[in-house]
Structure 1
């Protein structure tokens, strides 16, 4: 629900002035028709979806690139506990 609300809020907002590139996107006809009927701004919806897809993909790649360190750190914590655990207030 929060994602939908933030998307709706962004629909009416103009994007900041930056260089733009045209891109052809093909959609199933029913999706196109419903988007048009709802007066969605296809460029803004696509831009938001691309930003989210890029964020997710970067996260996956970061996790893959750092998998060895993450596994090593997790093994250290399992063996020795959290480094500053004695200072925790909760």
Structure 2
């Protein structure tokens, strides 16, 4: 379990500018706009962190892949599948 899952989040009121037609449709459909916005922002943060990690570690990934390509997987002879 991640630490974020065990921590109670404190919500902060925030002003957002949203497409008025989209907001109206969401309300008609009974969509919780605050939770939906939060979920969208959380996904955007997650994707940004993933892309940043991949960029920061690109050289190590290339090096590791080159090693496996040249030498095979370490301990491959012990694999049972």
> Which range, TM-score by smaller chain?
0.7 to 0.9
RMSD between aligned alpha carbons? 1.5
Alignment length (residue pairs) = 75
Tell me the TM-score normalized by structure 1. Answer: 0.75
In structure 2, distance between residues paired with 1:18 and 1:78: 45
Report 1 or 2 for greater relative contact order, CA contacts < 8 Å, sequence distance ≥ 6: 1
Which runs of structure 2 are paired with 1:73-88 in the superposition (5 Å)?
Answer: 73-88=64-79
Question: How far apart are the structure 2 equivalents of 1:47 and 1:81?
Answer: 43
Q: Which runs of no fewer than 5 residues in structure 1 stay unpaired? A: 1-15
TM-score w.r.t. length of structure 2: 0.82
* CA distance in structure 1 between the aligned counterparts of 2:69 and 2:8, rounded to whole angstroms: 49
Residue 62 of structure 2 corresponds to 71
| Runs of at least 4 residues off by over 6 Å | none
Give distance in 2, aligned partners of 1:29 and 1:21: 22
